[in-house]
A and B are shown apart, each in its own frame.
Chain A
Amino acid sequence: MESTRRGEALREEMELHVAEKAAELQADGMTPECARAEARRRFGNVGLKHEESREIWMTRFLSELGQDVRSGFRTMTANKAFSALAVLLLALGIGANTAVYSFMESILLRSLPVADPESLVVLNWHSRPPQEGSKEWVHVIHGVQGILWPGDNGALVSGMFPYGAFETLREENPVFSTLFGYFNGLTRNLAVRGQAASASAEYVTGEYFRGLAVSPAAGRLIDSEDDRPGAAPVAVISFATSQNRFGGPPNAIGQSVLVDNIPFTVIGVAPPEFFGVDPAAAPDLYLPLHANVLGDGGGAARMYGDGNFYWIEMMGRLRPGVSMAQAQAVLVPRFHQWVATTAKTDGERAKLPALILNPGAAGLGSLRRQYSKPLYVLLTMVGLILAITCANIANMLLARAAARRREMAIRLSLGAGRFRVVRQLLTESVMLASLGGALGVLFAIWAVRSLTFLFSKGQENFTLHAEVNWNVLGVTAALSVVCGLLFGLAPAIQSTRPDVMPELKNGRGGGPRRRAQHVLVVAQIAMSFLILVAAGLFVRTLNKLNSVQLGYARENILLFSLNARQAGHRDPEITTFYADLRKRFESIPGVSSATLSQSSIISAGHAGKTYRGTMKIGAVTIEGARVMTAGSRFLTTMQIPILAGREIDDRDQPGSTPVAVISERLARTYLGNENPVGRRITLVDDKRDVEIVGVSANLRNGGLKNEEASAMTVFVPVSQFSPDLVTYALRTAGDPLRYVKSVHEIVREADSHIPVKNVVTQAAEIDRTISRELTFAKLCTVFAVLALLTACVGLYGTMSYSVTRQTGEIGIRMALGAQRGAVVWMVLRRVLLLAAVGLAISVPAAMSASRLVKSLLFKTQPNDPGTMALAGVVLLSAAILAGFVPARRASRIDPLAALRHE
């Protein structure tokens, strides 16, 4: 910069001086070395002199800055209304950006809190889709425990591997110093000193903590000795768990705890900041991988030997000096060789998974996959809002520059450099922006809290914790300065244009400025339209979701889950236990009926233990139906009409005739007009038949967004399907949450080892499946209103200003007989022209940009013509409204007064 350039020039000058002096001394007969030394000695301390000179310019710079700041402050206080409005708009704009950026920082940019996170890599694989080219599932994956997610071009991507792959890659690995594995242990019942509560568990291999380079807060961590079949069952707990359940890390060490009724010894406590490898989770409990055999039995033991069962996830730490690409080059053939041995058919061989390494510094990508797109969309929107704000303030400054033209002319004529005046104006705008930024940070802190609340809406264990940290504050500060320069530069340059001066002297014209103002107004209109369209699309999506027919009651239902099996209850006693509990809940005063099922209906598609295999009626396979296990009085509690026969009730016991209730569409589709009652459905995989005893009305079984969610449902008695986790539903009078206390008392009485989980109303349970859409619709509506208001203020300001400028012209027109209507039209025509130009620019932009949010919409086309038209109408109406006030003022101009002024 300026001072660096100056500093270098000065140094060069001083060097030259010493050199010339030395040359002179040498000419007087000194040796070159002596001459140089003597010259330096005489000159004195070069560095010190340099410092002194620098001080001279810095003092100057600071004193000028002081002047500018003082003068800026005077200008700001002289125009209180303008300054307050500008600071407020900026605070909203910068604050919104800061808030969204805090989320991006915490989700997309933050590293795991472990040593050297950059050397961690996540192992994934991708392959062609299993159902490509055939209806049947053809793939080396015969079973999974975890998630597969779609990659590009329909490819299958996953982070899960068979245990054999882990063992193969772990042996003599030349590229990793450690390779470690883990898998989600889901929710477990953790009993400490007889007190049960649910805890999330992570199964980890013996290399896990060593590979992550984590040191314990107390005790020791799981190592290879703990992770082998038959080892003593040990557990590491999270720091928070040690505090909540033991009263501090030291107290936990050596304690015996029950995990799903199996005794484990706590050997260590993880450090406070550690949350595992997935920012979306925060395990309370870390168990050795092989300990899953203790809890999950024979099925778990088989997982270790099955090369076609995908379940373990892996991360590696690169050896020093090895790049991720090198590691990939080494491991891909090794994995390929191994996985080829697990393929049984040519079809499977044709689409073998291929290994890919991904950076692991930020941990697993589930949060990134889930939130990165919504966050980019939000960031774009708040970015647009800030741009509109800047354009608006630039516009106001341009108008104000006219008012200050005398001040500028005086300054320039008194000999102030143009640069100096521009600098002063820029200082003023950066001051405005900084004030806005400071206020914006306060706004952002509030916004981050409310956004976290909106995003988390009822989700338990919500781990998305954004905060306004130093990194974020730095970005905000930079953003404020950039904004200040952005909206200050054009007006500053414009108002100090030397050639404008004489023109300004007689007070008319200002052509270039008006053009600049028009450009800014058009830009604001165009950007507002984009935000309006986005808001329209998201609100429409929400409406579509809210208008989905559920077919069951949404209000006045309390849901909560219990898992008696994890507390040691077994068949067949567990079904009586659940049935007795149901009766007790039903006896709570104010509860009209109670029932239980595998899960809530909205999550029945993917949660809970149920039958998921093939079903047949006679020889016909039933396609697209779901089985849901339900307890007595399910249809009554959920207010699903019973169309024929009976619903599942207390007659249906583990030993009695297996029965089913089917939904109307299933009956119509597969049995036509026959009476379904008495017919049988074969559950092929379970090798048993169930007898249809009733028909229910259709209901939506599964999520609102799920296209596959079907109206075809088979209800079977939960008592006949060996339940583990069940969800109770209570139909209540008044607010369902009033009954939570009674529920807790009843469960504690029945068995104090069973924690009550996921207590939520049916309405909230449904809403949390669409929390993203709710959030988007709300936020975007706020954004759209904000953008529209800002743009209207800009339009109003510009039109008022130009009406004032044209007072003379309008006066002449009116004196010559122009009607008031014609004058109004003259002004409005310009407003409409500006709006039309803005729309002409942004309609194509909206058409192409909205395609990017397609995946966030539901039953709504990205370029939905209705939404576009509505946004256009709203924008035009707002523009006309903003233009009408100045237009009316123009029509009230007294021709005589106007001409006299002239």
Chain B
Amino acid sequence: MGRKAQKNDSLPGSLDMLILRTLSLRDVHGYGIVQFIQQSSDNELLVEEGSLYPALQRLELNGWIDGVWGVTSNHRRARIYKITAAGRKQLAVETRKYAKLTLAIARVMGAE
């Protein structure tokens, strides 16, 4: 689809994992996910906000998350996402893959 490189998404596919991880802790709406990722990474990871929604659509179609209309903490109508059982499995898979990958990179970097 020729999308341009994502700003702070140095590891391709990691956005999905970050979303799943966020949702595995609590059910939040889109903006809440961005905030959570930023805060818990001490503002190291800046999610390109627009890319969040296509990602959410993709995850939902894959059956890993489920969005329902609800109300946010400041009383606005929003779609609140929650992780499904399949999503948890997927999170586990991705976490393992990610661990393997970072380990491999660390080995390469350490070998220098």
Contacts and interface: CB of A to CB of B under 8 A. Distances in A.
Interface in A248-299: none
B109 interface: no
A16 B52 CA distance: 13
A14 B34 CA distance: 12
B1 interface: yes
A10 B53 contact: yes
Interface in A44-77: 44-46, 48-50, 52-53, 55-57, 60
- Using C-beta atoms within 8 Å of the partner chain, give the interface range for chain A: 20 to 34
Interface residues of B, number: 21
Contact of A17 (B48, B49, B54, B77): B49
A145 B72 CA distance: 82
A20 interface: yes
Nearest to A48: B50
A46 B50 contact: yes
B76 to A, nearest CB: 6
B97 interface: no
Given A44-B49, A44-B50, A17 B61 contact: no
Given A16-B76, A55-B1, A43 B61 contact: no
B96 to A, nearest CB: 24
Interface string A859-872: 00000000000000
A21 interface: yes
Contacts of B58: 56
A56 B54 CA distance: 7
Contact of A49 (B31, B34, B51): B51
B108 to A, nearest CB: 33
A467 B58 CA distance: 48
Contacts of B57: 10, 53, 56-57
B82 interface: no
Given A9-B79, A53-B57, A57-B61, A20 B48 contact: no
A19 B78 CA distance: 12
A17 B30 contact: yes
Nearest to A39: B49
B31 A17 contact: yes
A900 interface: no
Contact of B54 (A20, A53, A60): A53
A42 interface: yes
A12 B72 CA distance: 14
Nearest to B46: A42
B31 A53 contact: no
Contacts of B29: 13, 16
Contacts of A42: 49
Given A21-B49, A56-B61, A13 B54 contact: no
B48 A44 contact: yes
Interface string A393-414: 0000000000000000000000
Contacts of B72: 20
A53 B53 contact: yes
Contacts of A53: 53-54, 57
Contact of A43 (B3, B50, B77, B79): B50
> Which among B30, B51, B53, B61 has the highest number of chain A CB atoms within 10 Å?
B53
A20 B31 contact: yes
Contact of A21 (B31, B51, B61): B31
Interface string B8-51: 00000000000000000000011100100000000000001111
B55 to A, nearest CB: 9
A56 B60 CA distance: 11
A154 to B, nearest CB: 66
In order of increasing CB-CB distance, the 4 nearest A-B pairs are: A44-B50, A49-B50, A52-B54, A53-B57
Given A20-B76, A44-B48, 9 more contacts: A10-B53, A13-B29, A13-B30, A13-B53, A14-B30, A43-B49, A52-B3, A53-B57, A56-B57
Interface of B: 1, 3, 29-31, 34, 48-54, 57-58, 61, 72, 76-79
28 contacts: A10-B53, A10-B57, A16-B29, A16-B77, A16-B78, A17-B30, A17-B31, A20-B72, A21-B31, A43-B50, A44-B48, A44-B49, A44-B50, A44-B51, A45-B50, A46-B50, A48-B50, A49-B51, A49-B53, A52-B1, A52-B54, A53-B53, A53-B57, A56-B57, A56-B58, A56-B61, A57-B61, A60-B61
